[in-house]
Amino acid sequence: MDSISTHSYQDLDRRTLWHPYTRRSAVEAAPLPVIVRGEGVYLFDSEGRRYLDAISSWWACNLGHQHPRLIEAIARQARELQHSILGNLTHPRAIELAAMLVDLFPDDRRVMFASDGSCTVEAALKIALQYWWNRGQPAKHKFVALDFAYHGDTLGAVSVGYLPHFHQAFKPVLFPVYQAPSPCCGTCAFHESPDQCLNECFDTMRAIVREHAHELAAVIVEPLCQCSGGMRMHPAEHIRRLAKLCADYDVLLIADEIAVGYGRTGKMFACEHADVWPDIVCLGKGMSGGYLPISAAVVKASIHATFGDTPEDHTLYHGHTFTGNPIAAALAIETLRVYEDEHIVSRAAALGATLAAELAPLAAISGVRNVRSLGAIGVVELEDDAEGTGSRHAARVRDRLRAKGILLRPLGSVIYVMPPLVTPEPVLRELVGAVGAAIRAV
């Protein structure tokens, strides 16, 4: 593609397209790169520039771009059956995928599919609500969530994952939720140690659950790492304690593994670090390797068992047009096979060890507040102040890295990498080196 067509695309883009999570000033300041091709861990723009996809295209492309087996899975399924509904019908790919997902859990489960992560969170919340209704306890209809949680952009998900800087305008229509403090792992100035932080935060959580158990449907959390809320990492002990608390007080636990599942933390699911298997586990993002939207709520069979229709109708009247779409399901099946054949989860763990080692020296750079990592999530958090100096610094780092062929997207003053899990080690080292150099340079 030559530069004339690049300009005409950029012009048409400005006149017609509404970009998600993008400030108007950013669109007006400079034309956006037009990404025309992906290959391995790289994206290419219409001018032929190559970029390392250091955030796996919003945490989805764990297997990189143009994986031949995933391309073939799309083509094969598209030739056979591109869509058929799951309402009073079924099809092989949805069945096979559900069975493969259930096999990843130690207990018996049922799988409700959706397309985006947010939709799966909505399904999980509704399943939790109706579960208690089915059981004749409709008073249990409230949720507990953590501060700094993010669970998606539909209104139910925003209610349990309210981030003021994103969601203020919607506050009047959100349903009320009990908020418990989110442990910061000792990165804030208020706690003497990560343990003290965990204990204090958990004391509040325990008090809320104890006091309100009679009206609580579920606690919802992102296990081990709150991603959009600033890559806030928690010890596995947090989810372990939470699972026990919920079990003790007869409250469901919903784990939102949409970002941290599928190997990102060095285990298939983040909850595995604590050997905890929550009542409902939400999956998304990496499920189809980053090729098509598909998500799932993987629900304990004992919960599903209450959704009968005799003597009373307890059917879950919930679903989307493309629930369990065969092409997306075929991709998700092939993704799991690639995970197995290419040892993606153990590679992610190895990548995580390298990432931690490479990041450590960056803690000494002036202006860096904290360096942390969890599996293949690496964070360099900059010092910030009320004027947002750290966020502006991070934005300059982002721009400098983009000019050097690396795409990332800081969250305020939090610079993070979440590279594809297939990133070669030397490329990962170069990436961290470039991040360090950019922080020093700007």
Ligand X SMILES: *Cc1c(COP(=O)(O)O)cnc(C)c1O
State the catalytic residues: 21, 150, 256, 285
151 versus 273: smaller Cβ distance to ligand X:
151
Pairing state between β 216-221 and 252-256: parallel
* Residue listed under structure tokens 């947090």: 238
Complex with ligand X: residue 266 or 284, whichever CB lies closer: 284
Residue 116 CB, nearest distance to ligand X (Å)? 4
- On the 0-12 / 13-18 / 19+ scale of CB atoms within 10 A, 243 is buried
Interface residues for ligand X in 215-254 (CB under 6 A)? 222, 227-228
Taking the least distance from each CB to ligand X, the nearer of 293 and 352 is 293
Contact assessment for residue 131 and residue 297, using Cβ atoms and an 8 Å cutoff: no
Which among 101-109, 146-154, 173-181, 367-375 is the span making contact with ligand X, rule CB under 6 A?
146-154
151 near ligand X, judged by CB under 6 A: yes
Q: Does 130 bind ligand X (CB under 6 A)?
A: no
Under the binding rule (CB under 6 A), the answer on residue 121 touching ligand X is yes
Is residue 419 within 8 Å of 376, Cβ to Cβ?
yes
Of 373, 369, 376, which Cα lies nearest the Cα of 350?
A: 376
Give residue number: closest CB to ligand X.
117
The answer to whether residue 152 forms part of the interface with ligand X (CB under 6 A) is: yes
Pick the closer one to ligand X by CB: 54 or 439: 54
Please tell me whether residue 150 binds ligand X under the rule CB under 6 A. yes
According to CB under 6 A, which residues from 352 to 391 bind ligand X? none
> In this structure, which amino acid lies at residue 410?
P
Q: How many residues of this chain bind ligand X (CB under 6 A)?
A: 15
- Which part of the chain contacts ligand X (CB under 6 A), choosing from 113-121, 307-315, 342-350, 417-425? 113-121
Q: Which is nearer to ligand X, 118 or 325 (CB)?
A: 118
Tokens, residue 97:
């995928």
Q: Which of residues 264-323 bind ligand X (CB under 6 A)?
A: 284-285
Position among 258, 274, 348, 431 found at the interface with ligand X (CB under 6 A): 258
Cβ 118 to ligand X shortest distance, Å: 3
- Asked if residue 91 lies in contact with residue 335, where contact means CB atoms within 8 angstroms, the answer is no
Task: Note whether 122 binds ligand X by CB under 6 A.
Answer: no
CB of 257 to ligand X, least distance (A): 8
- Give min distance, CB of 214 to ligand X, in A: 28
At its nearest, how many Å lie between ligand X and the CB of residue 177?
Answer: 15
156 binds ligand X (CB under 6 A): no
Candidates 90-98, 112-120, 234-242, 245-253: pick the segment binding ligand X (CB under 6 A).
Answer: 112-120
Nearer to ligand X, 18 or 190 (CB): 18
417 vs 439 by CB, closer to ligand X: 417
Footprint of ligand X (CB under 6 A): 116-118, 121, 150-152, 222, 227-228, 256, 258-259, 284-285
